[in-house]
Structure 1
């Protein structure tokens, strides 16, 4: 028996060495694939169609509309009426006039109601475009977010409501449910995960959160539209088989605040381009 065990040692060692070589090769292949995907995205970004959405959004921002026939130029996004530059880099945030934490899309709807005289349903209608059906909201969001490009994310937790909503977003991140018993954390709480050719950043780390959050909204090549953060989170929950979240819901704002805060310090680089 001792002789048999000794004779197996070289084979076991060879198997271990082969496994190590294969693992190293797989890691190199994965790194090479990621590098090539990054190059591809960089090439596409040089002609990002999102610029068309930004221009259309600026026009909508300045155009009188609604029953009151006024523009959105006096909308307060947190830095004072009409100040767009740098506003998105500090959202979501607490707004004293509503007594709640709001993300960009919630705040935009609020301004369309209070300034332009739209009903809430009118202000939040058609948030996500479809073939032959464009969305003013996506265009407005593209413009507003573009005005924070290059600025560092600076989301604060000074107000008690901001702290409460952040904690709710953190709870939502780890909450498991749906037909697959998934949570956001299932895909985005460890390093090195990937689905097909798509890297899954660890959103609990500053680096991972910065890489992900600062590049949304984004022009989706596969859809031919600019998709907002609300749409990104809606689509994630849909893929997890969660119940469909209502557009502009507080739970989506909470999840956005959790992710945005984790991305603090990262330079905002949206609207970007994605597959």
Structure 2
């Protein structure tokens, strides 16, 4: 805890100094903060989280099985490139699942955990570990099943919908103002320019948080003044599928990422 606090003091001090001197490029600032942590601590928070996820992945559940018995879309225990192909429809559950919800399915149906025994922090850590096997892989999301196509259509409607007191939505920031604010809002670019789906899961050094895309979507809704969708809910999965499909072909530069 003391080491983590030390990291944050240094990170926030340098970020505040940079902002005081004027507008900064968030990508370049992330590189500087990343280098700072490597020089001061010798390890990145993302590396620690991945190691935690690895331990949890190999932990036996009440059924006596580890997550190596789980199929994330490419066969039992196959993780190489699996996260880059999600969300997708799974025959064993009869529904579309993203990485987070598939982990939940694995922990309950394969490992035998009760839903109330599953901590969100553990799901996120496991997601970081699994995603690390897709670094350098292209996004390959399909729309082969009717369930995938229906969810994609819902995600498209939600992305472009404007509502609430502010009359804004996802596309207001991430499409309408993408050209002007691409460096500020590298969430996703459905026009295929930023290919920023590859930013998540990520460690956010500005607030010392670890987020998957589910957390990012919920935060966006909160920023817009909308009620946040529940974790693992249909609106989140629909938005994920829509955005992931729009970013097909983008190469994952680094999972988990290190962002502001």
Which TM-score tier does this pair reach, normalised by the shorter chain?
Answer: 0.7 to 0.9
In structure 1, the residue matched to 2:251 is 267
Distance 1:152 1:220 in 2: 23
1:155 aligns with 2:141: yes
In structure 1, the residue matched to 2:13 is none
Larger Rg: 1
In structure 2, the residue matched to 1:42 is 31
1:186 aligns with 2:172: yes
Shift in Å, 1:237: 0.6
Shift in Å, 1:222: 2.1
Partner of 1:101, secondary structure, is: strand
Shift in Å, 1:69: 3.4
- Residues 152-171 of structure 1, C-alpha deviation per residue, up to 9 Å, x if partnerless? 10111111211111111001
Gaps of 5+ in 2: 1-21, 39-43
Gaps of 5+ in 1: 1-31, 128-134
> What TM-score, normalized by structure 1, do the two folds share?
0.78
1:73 aligns with 2:68: yes
Distance 1:259 1:176 in 2: 17
In structure 2, the residue matched to 1:216 is 200
Paired positions, count? 230
* Aligned CA distance change for structure 1 residues 200 and 62 (closer, same or farther; 3 Å): closer
* Aligned CA distance change for structure 1 residues 122 and 193 (closer, same or farther; 3 Å): farther
Conservation of the 8 A alpha-carbon contact between 2:46 and 2:257: yes
Shift in Å, 1:194: 2.6
